[in-house]
Amino acid sequence: MKLLFNHPFAIYLIAGIACLCIMILVDYILGAEAEHLNAWVIINRFAGNASAIGDSLAIRKLGLWGAGLLMVIINGLLGILLIQFIRLFIQMIHS
């Protein structure tokens, strides 16, 4: 557990934001195919813009705020995994 929090919080925050940006870009490209948790639709709904794609399954089941919270939690966890994979890759190179 000590290794998980060995880095400053800002690194995990930046990795989570990077994962969120990648998720939004992929969902924009996929369009209606990303029907379960479409980050593009969630961000547009928070901004007040209507989308022709329609609501994702997460918005229908959890509401807009629940889907937004789920999106942030998932991308935060992916950011933590990303930092740990990078740390592991650097350790493999240096050993």
Residue closest to 54 by CA, chosen among 75, 74, 80, 27: 27
Predicted confidence (pLDDT) per residue in 23-77, tens digit:
999 988 888 787 888 888 899 899 988 877 888 888 899 999 999 999 999 999 9
Span 16-22, mean pLDDT? Answer: 92
Q: Break the chain into its structural domains and give their ranges.
A: 36-88
- pLDDT at position 11 is 86
Residue closest to 23 by CA, chosen among 60, 63, 70, 62: 70
Q: How far is CA 95 from CA 4, 83, 91, in A?
A: 20, 18, 6
0.85 cut: is pTM over it? Answer: no
Q: How many CA atoms lie within 13 A of 30 on its CB side?
A: 17
